[in-house]
Amino acid sequence: MKKKIAVLPGDGIGPEIIAQAVKVLETVGKRYNHEFEFEEGIVGACAIDECGDPYPLKTHELCMESDAILFGAIGDPKYDNNPNAKVRPEQGLLKMRKSLGLFANLRPIEPFSCLIERSPLKKERIEGANLMIVRELTGGLYFGEPRGRSENGNVAFDTCVYSKDEIRRIAVKAFELAKMRRGSVTLVDKANVLATSRLWRETVKELHKELYSDIELDFMFVDNAAMQLVTAPGKFDVLLTENLFGDILSDEASVITGSIGLLPSASVGENLSLYEPIHGSYPQAKGKNIANPVATILSAAMMLEYSFGMKQEADAIKQACRESIEQGIVTEDLAADKQSYSTTEVGEFICSQI
> Given the rule CB under 5 A, which residues bind Mg ion?
247
Nearer to Mg ion, 16 or 247 (CB): 247
The beta strands (E) that lie in 193-332 are given as 216-221, 238-241, 264-268, 273-277
What residues contact residue 39 under an 8 Å CB cut-off, 6+ apart?
4, 5, 6, 7, 62, 66
> Out of 80, 214, 218, 223, which one is annotated catalytic?
223
Give backbone dihedrals phi and psi of 148, rounded to 5 degrees, phi first.
145, -150
Task: State the binding partner of 345 from Mg ion, ligand IPM, none, CB within 5 to 8 A by kind.
Answer: none
Residue 319 CB, shortest distance to ligand IPM, in Å, is 27
Nearer to ligand IPM, 90 or 323 (CB): 90
The beta strands (E) that lie in the chain are given as 2-10, 35-40, 68-73, 104-109, 131-136, 148-149, 156-157, 184-189, 216-221, 238-241, 264-268, 273-277
Task: State the binding partner of 93 from ligand IPM, Mg ion, none, CB within 5 to 8 A by kind.
Answer: ligand IPM
Cβ pair 233, 252 in contact under 8 A: no
Q: Of the candidates 247, 313, 333, 348, which one interacts with ligand IPM according to CB under 6 A? A: 247
Nearer to Mg ion, 27 or 138 (CB): 138
176 binding ligand IPM? (CB under 6 A): no
Active-site residue, 237 included = no
Residue 247 CB, shortest distance to Mg ion, in Å, is 4
Q: Of the candidates 62, 93, 316, 321, which one interacts with ligand IPM according to CB under 6 A? A: 93
Calpha distance 286→291 (Å, rounded): 8
Residues touching ligand IPM: how many (CB under 6 A)?
3
Residue 278 CB, shortest distance to Mg ion, in Å, is 7
H, E, C per residue of 281-295: CCHHHCCCCCCCCHH
Cβ pair 17, 82 in contact under 8 A: no
Active-site residue, 315 included = no
Question: Beta 104-109 vs 131-136: how paired, if at all?
Answer: antiparallel
Nearer to ligand IPM, 36 or 71 (CB): 71
Cβ pair 317, 304 in contact under 8 A: yes
Active-site residue, 142 included = yes
Beta bridge partners of 257: none
Calpha distance 55→43 (Å, rounded): 5
Nearer to ligand IPM, 27 or 91 (CB): 91
Residue 59 CB, shortest distance to Mg ion, in Å, is 21
Start-to-end C-alpha separation, the chain: 18
Task: State the binding partner of 26 from Mg ion, ligand IPM, none, CB within 5 to 8 A by kind.
Answer: none
Task: State the binding partner of 305 from Mg ion, ligand IPM, none, CB within 5 to 8 A by kind.
Answer: none
Residue 70 CB, shortest distance to ligand IPM, in Å, is 15
Task: State the binding partner of 90 from Mg ion, ligand IPM, none, CB within 5 to 8 A by kind.
Answer: ligand IPM
Residue 246 CB, shortest distance to Mg ion, in Å, is 8
> Out of 190, 235, 286, 318, which one is annotated catalytic?
190
Residue 95 CB, shortest distance to ligand IPM, in Å, is 11
Handedness of CA 26, 30, 32, 37 (dihedral sign): positive
> Out of 53, 237, 247, 333, which one is annotated catalytic?
247
Q: Is 193 exposed, middle or buried (0-12, 13-18, 19+ CB in 10 A)?
A: exposed
Nearer to ligand IPM, 217 or 256 (CB): 256
> Out of 142, 162, 212, 341, which one is annotated catalytic?
142
Cβ pair 336, 13 in contact under 8 A: no
DSSP state of 33: T
> Which of 77, 82, 65, 81 is CA-nearest to residue 4?
65
Nearer to ligand IPM, 71 or 212 (CB): 71
| Sites of contact with ligand IPM (CB under 6 A) | 90, 93, 247
Q: Which residues are catalytic?
A: 142, 190, 223, 247, 251
